[in-house]
């Protein structure tokens, strides 16, 4: 059988290769890329007509065929792996409807290289906007929950050991800051996605007098991608999107890990409604945090797609290649969908997480996390240097642990005894000062003016975070509106071209 796509090649692709290499990807990708291919074809045909590269009559007939394909949808195609890929299957359908003299003109002044580059950019743009929307929703949930729980004192940990008293609201504000940085990275990457490669051809542009700015406007791109070879050779914007999603997955994975520990029986400082949990098929007492486990797992799949993508591009020539532009990104689109879904799950988890204030306070009263405040008090009262105070309080904590004295029962006598053991001299500290130092609520509130859990600091941070969040959400709304307007213009102008064809046919 001779090739269906080439006058040079005498043979069609071997059946084994069709089944092993082309058919799986064709059947998987065609329904997903068909809408993007249709939009690109609409913009390209309009531009070819307006520049006089094809006649208005040819453009009208192409417009009718393209709209017929759009209405029929992917289910109307009988995909043929001998045609290699989605575009050749699409073009074959157009040629079948209009004849080779008309249908064969649709591909003037372009290559599959710039068409697929545009297709990937449109697809990545849609995914990036959905990721940004999910991330904005997570930040909004974090700020709302932080406001609700601003006064809920909890133990803070370093190395998973008691460190200093915090509040649950303060902890959530820290995550809001982290997700804000994720937004900044994603928004910066979005600007690098939103460039128009159409007109780049195979790698050196085209000799036809095309209007690249026209297709840029019709497809809602921000500007033309200026260098033809770079436009088709590079998928770094997609690698960057995966990298930024991987970084964000690290953030949500750390949150999920913290929540996972906090919901354990041994910690028991956080709980979820039953609708956010699973159970055991054997053990009836189990309330498994499978949602949190799934969040942690999603981070691994996103990271795997990023590694696969960058490994696929590494070592390829600086031009279009299958490994550098297609196979290397086999898992990219699934990972981006996983990211979008994970952000929805994360928002629900943040909304539904219920801190257990009594248990949190019980732990923070008992776990000596106010020890730093005791040391600070010794310094503040001009009794000791900080290093001496650190040693004395460390000795006092050791005595308290040995005698099973909880942190909130440590007193001036215990400090004096520890000082005598550690420094060889007595140290006097007022009983009221000691009592205030070991009070975890006061300890949290004392950390003011340094980005700590004091209410004033938290209020200022929350106000700033909310203002920036509102700005990010407004930009997102405006960008959706801009793209919707561009699509409406494209569809109206293309429909007008096709309608003229229908009128003339009558």
Residues 256 and 283 in one domain: yes
| Full-model pTM | 0.93
Specify if 502 maps to a domain. no
Of 247, 144, 136, 140, the closest CA to residue 472 belongs to 136
Q: Is residue 232 part of a domain?
A: yes
**278 bridge partner residues:** 288
Residue 366 in any domain: the answer is no
- Domain contains 9: no
Q: Residue 426: pLDDT above 90?
A: no
Instruction: Kindly state whether residues 426 and 468 are assigned to the same domain.
Output: no
pLDDT for 428 equals: 87
Q: How far is CA 300 from the centre of its chain?
A: 13
How far apart are alpha carbons 434 and 377 in whole angstroms?
8
Question: Are 340 and 474 in the same domain?
Answer: yes
Mean pLDDT score of the chain, rounded to an integer? 94
296 is a domain residue = yes
pLDDT at 323: 86
Q: Report the pLDDT value the prediction gives residue 501, as an integer from 0 to 100.
A: 47
CATH of the domain at 413: 1.10.40
Q: Is residue 234 part of a domain?
A: yes
User: Same domain, yes or no, for 244 and 326?
Assistant: yes
In a domain, 26, yes or no: yes
Q: What would you report as the CA-atom Rg of the chain, rounded to the nearest whole angstrom?
A: 31
Query: What domain range includes position 51?
Result: 15-108
Co-location of 78 and 128 in the same domain: no
Let me know if residue 359 belongs to a domain.
no
How far apart are the C-alpha atoms of 67 and 54, rounded to whole Å?
18
What percentage of the chain reaches a pLDDT higher than 90? 87
Token duo for residue 222: 């921000």
List the one residue out of 154, 129, 176 whose CA is nearest residue 359. Answer: 154
Closest by alpha carbon to 342, among 124, 127, 132, 134? Answer: 134
Residues belonging to the chain: 506
Alpha-carbon distance of 343 to 154, in angstroms, equals 26
Strand 161-167 relative to strand 195-196, pairing: unpaired
Same domain? For 295 and 396 the reply is: no
For residue 194 the two structure tokens come to 């939103």
Give the residue among 298, 308, 277 at the shortest CA–CA distance from 341: 298
State whether 217 and 347 are in the same domain: yes
Q: Residues 345, 392: one domain?
A: no
What pLDDT is attached to residue 2?
63
Read off the pLDDT of residues 437-481 as tens digits, 9 standing for 90 and up: 999 999 899 988 899 999 999 999 999 999 999 999 999 999 999
Structurally, the chain folds into a number of domains equal to 3
**By CB neighbour count within 10 A (0-12 exposed, 13-18 middle, 19+ buried), where does 485 fall?**
exposed
One domain, residues 384 and 398: yes
pLDDT in tens, 363-417: 999 999 999 999 999 999 878 999 999 999 999 999 999 999 999 999 999 999 9
pLDDT confidence tier of residue 506, bands split at 50, 70 and 90: very low
Same domain, 313 and 185: yes
Q: Where are the beta strands (DSSP E) in 213-271?
A: 223-224, 270-271
pLDDT grade, residue 484 (50/70/90)?
A: very high
Check which CATH number belongs to the domain holding 98 and give it. 1.10.275.10
Does 387 share its domain with 402? Answer: yes
- For 253-264, the pLDDT digits (tens) are 999 999 999 999
Summarize pLDDT for 83-110 with one digit per residue, the tens: 999 999 999 999 999 999 999 999 999 9
Same structural domain for residues 483 and 378?
A: no
């Amino acid at each position: 059988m001779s090739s269906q796509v080439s006058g040079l090649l005498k043979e069609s692709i071997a059946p084994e290769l069709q089944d092993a290499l082309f058919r799986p990807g064709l059947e998987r990708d065609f329904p997903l890329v068909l809408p993007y291919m249709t939009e690109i074809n609409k913009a390209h045909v309009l531009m070819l007509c307006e520049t006089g590269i094809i006649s208005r009559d040819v453009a009208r007939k192409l417009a009718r065929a393209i709209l017929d394909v759009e209405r029929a949808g992917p289910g109307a195609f009988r995909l043929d792996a001998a045609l290699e890929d989605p575009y050749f299957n699409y073009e074959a359908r157009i040629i079948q409807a209009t004849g080779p003299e008309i249908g064969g003109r649709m591909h003037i002044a372009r290559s599959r290289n710039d068409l697929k580059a545009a297709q990937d950019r449109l697809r990545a743009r849609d995914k990036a906007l959905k990721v940004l929307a999910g991330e904005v929703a997570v930040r909004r949930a974090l700020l709302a929950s932080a406001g609700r729980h601003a006064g809920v004192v909890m133990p803070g940990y370093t190395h998973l050991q008691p460190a200093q008293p915090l509040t649950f609201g303060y902890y959530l504000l820290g995550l809001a800051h982290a997700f804000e940085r994720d937004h900044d990275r994603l928004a910066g990457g979005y600007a690098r996605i939103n460039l128009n490669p159409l007109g780049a051809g195979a790698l050196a542009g085209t000799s036809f007098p095309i209007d690249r700015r026209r297709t840029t406007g019709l497809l809602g791109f921000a500007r033309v991608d200026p260098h033809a070879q770079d436009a088709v050779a590079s998928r770094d914007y997609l690698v960057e999107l995966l990298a930024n999603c991987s970084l964000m997955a690290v953030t949500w994975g750390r949150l999920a890990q913290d929540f996972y520990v906090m919901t354990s029986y041994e910690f028991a400082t956080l709980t979820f409604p039953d609708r956010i949990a699973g159970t055991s098929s054997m053990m009836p007492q189990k309330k498994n945090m499978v949602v949190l486990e799934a969040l942690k797992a999603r981070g691994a799949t996103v990271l795997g797609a990023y590694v696969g993508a960058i490994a696929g591009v590494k070592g390829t020539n600086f031009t279009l290649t299958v490994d550098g532009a297609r196979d290397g990104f086999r898992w990219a689109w699934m990972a981006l969908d996983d990211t979008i879904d994970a952000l929805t799950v994360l928002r629900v988890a943040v909304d539904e997480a219920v801190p257990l204030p009594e248990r949190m306070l019980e732990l923070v009263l008992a776990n000596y996390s106010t020890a730093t405040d005791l040391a600070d008090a010794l310094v503040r009262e001009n009794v000791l240097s900080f290093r001496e105070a650190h040693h004395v309080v460390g000795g006092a904590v050791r005595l308290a642990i040995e005698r099973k004295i909880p942190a909130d029962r440590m007193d001036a006598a215990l400090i004096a005894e520890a000082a005598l053991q550690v420094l060889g001299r007595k140290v006097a500290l007022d009983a009221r000062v000691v009592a205030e130092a070991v009070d975890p609520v006061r300890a949290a509130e004392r950390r003011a003016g340094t980005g700590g859990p004091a209410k004033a600091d938290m209020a200022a941070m929350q106000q700033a975070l909310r203002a920036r969040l509102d700005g990010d959400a407004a930009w997102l709304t405006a960008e959706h509106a801009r793209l919707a307007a561009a699509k409406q213009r494209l569809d109206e102008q293309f429909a007008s071209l096709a309608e003229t064809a229908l009128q003339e046919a009558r």
